[in-house]
Amino acid sequence: MIENWKDTAFGSDFGGDFLELVENITSDTLTMNLIYTNTDVKKYIDNPDLLKERTDNNVQFTNSKFEQYIHFEDLIIALSVMIVEAELNGEIDLTKAYGNKVLKFQAEKEEIKSIHSALQTIYNSPDSYVMFEMCMEEEREETLTDIKNILAAFEKIMN
């Protein structure tokens, strides 16, 4: 699965930075706690109204090795692909998506639901996110098609 969406999830600079962060914060098991400890994305998950304040909602990396940020939507798309890959295939094979590791994934059902909900919001309101402001029409449509397919795969693991 991951190879189908690798360009959308990890092909941008932001997606690549997130992939690098994930590979550096874990040895063999990715958890939502690791994501929340090394980024400030949880503030947006816990308070989605923050996303309405502007279109360039930047998630900061709190890990001192990574003094940059990623757009919220880039992180959610990449994390969604990782979750779907882990749930459907038993592991996240990042070697199929520009990475170097194969990881296990552990999360509570509620944590997975919150990421699914965030991805659904991005799909339903793409004009609210800077990523889509920067896309040309063809790119935008390809990205939205990928998100729709990721959401369909999410539905399989949510039931």
75, 133 contact by CB (below 8 A): no
* pTM (two decimals): 0.93
Q: Which two tokens stand for residue 25?
A: 């914060």
Q: Which of 131, 40, 159, 133 is nearest to 147 (CA)?
A: 131
Element (H, E) at 69: strand 69-71
d(CA 151, CA 102): 23
DSSP class of 159: -
Q: What is the pLDDT of residues 11-67, one digit of tens each?
A: 988 899 899 999 999 889 999 999 999 999 999 999 988 888 775 678 888 865 656
Count the domains in the chain.
1
d(CA 49, CA 78): 21
Q: Which domain holds residue 102?
A: 2-158
Q: What is the mean pLDDT of residues 102-118?
A: 95
Q: What is the pLDDT of residue 23?
A: 94
